């Protein structure tokens, strides 16, 4: 059964041919969600009673942090599929996700520092949440560095999969750090936004931006995976047929 899935539904050929149909829909959904989230967060949402307009950076910081964590979770899942069942498309998804995750983690760190300066009076502090997110950034960099020094695809995918699975233990530390330790970082944004006192005009743009960031990741991932498939299977007959169509 697993062999049939690998040869048919999970093959690079099937993925390359079917993924092209999803690209326009994902692109359209991303544009709609991003525009609504941007306008809603910058103009429609009222100023926070404590932070004023400075809270609006939340509409970039929170989605980038959530998406960065989600991407690493996807990488860990793909790593498991790669190690156990040697699914080629999972290895490609894992490899192509790393740089996207690193970029979003860096964005989360930068926007968090910008947000923290007026709120905490400092750009950086070795807070549990900030430190664990920084570790996530280093995990992404380590993954990409390891991938770049191993030329063989099979050995590279195996080594990177092990690193991805080991690093996944950092995700619950990031999520629960504000509960486990006494930190300056505020609690979960979702928990706070679930209170009735939060205006819907603040909640809905944030949710829209989170969806937009997830869609952005999906869009870039599909494009990068298609390019990676072309590089890996460039000598395959089906690639030649697909390029000539």
Instruction: Write the pLDDT tens digit of every residue in 195-234.
Output: 545 678 888 999 999 999 999 999 999 999 999 999 887 7
154-188: per-residue pLDDT in tens?
Answer: 999 999 999 999 999 999 999 888 777 766 666 66
Report helix, strand or coil for 187. Answer: coil
User: Residue 73 CA to chain centroid, in angstroms?
Assistant: 8
Count CA within 13 A, CB hemisphere, residue 132: 21
Long-range CB pairs of 229-235, under 8 A, 24+ apart, other chains included: 229/12, 229/15, 229/16, 229/92, 230/16, 232/12, 232/92, 232/153, 233/12, 233/13
Nearest to 162 by CA among 76, 100, 96: 76
- The CA–CA distances, whole Å, from 42 to 45, 46, 59 equal 7, 9, 9
Report helix, strand or coil for 119. Answer: helix
Residue 60 neighbours by CB distance under 10 Å? 20
For residue 43, the model assigns a pLDDT of 93
127-142: per-residue pLDDT in tens?
Answer: 889 999 999 999 999 9
pTM of the predicted structure, to 2 decimals? 0.91
């Amino acid at each position: 059964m697993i062999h049939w899935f690998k040869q048919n539904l999970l093959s690079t050929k099937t993925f390359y041919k079917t993924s092209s149909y999803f690209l326009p829909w994902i692109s359209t959904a991303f544009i709609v969600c991003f525009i609504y989230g941007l306008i809603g967060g910058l103009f429609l949402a009222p100023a926070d009673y404590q932070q004023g307009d400075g809270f609006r950076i939340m509409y970039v910081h929170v989605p980038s942090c959530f998406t960065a964590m989600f991407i690493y979770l996807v990488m860990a899942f793909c790593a498991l599929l790669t190690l156990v069942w040697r699914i080629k498309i999972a290895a490609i998804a894992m490899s192509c996700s790393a740089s996207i995750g690193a970029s979003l983690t860096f964005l989360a760190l930068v926007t968090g520092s910008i947000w923290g300066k007026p709120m905490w009076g400092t750009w950086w502090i070795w807070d549990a949440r900030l430190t664990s997110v920084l570790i996530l950034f280093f995990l992404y960099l380590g993954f990409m560095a390891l991938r770049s020094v191993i030329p063989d695809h099979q050995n590279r995918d195996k080594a990177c999969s092990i690193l991805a699975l080991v690093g996944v233990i950092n995700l619950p530390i990031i999520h629960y750090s504000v509960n486990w330790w006494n930190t300056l970082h505020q609690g979960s944004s979702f928990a706070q936004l679930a209170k009735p006192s939060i205006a819907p005009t603040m909640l809905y743009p944030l949710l829209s931006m989170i969806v937009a960031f997830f869609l952005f990741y999906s869009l870039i991932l599909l494009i990068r995976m298609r390019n990676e498939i072309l590089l890996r299977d460039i000598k395959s007959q089906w690639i030649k047929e697909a390029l000539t169509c």
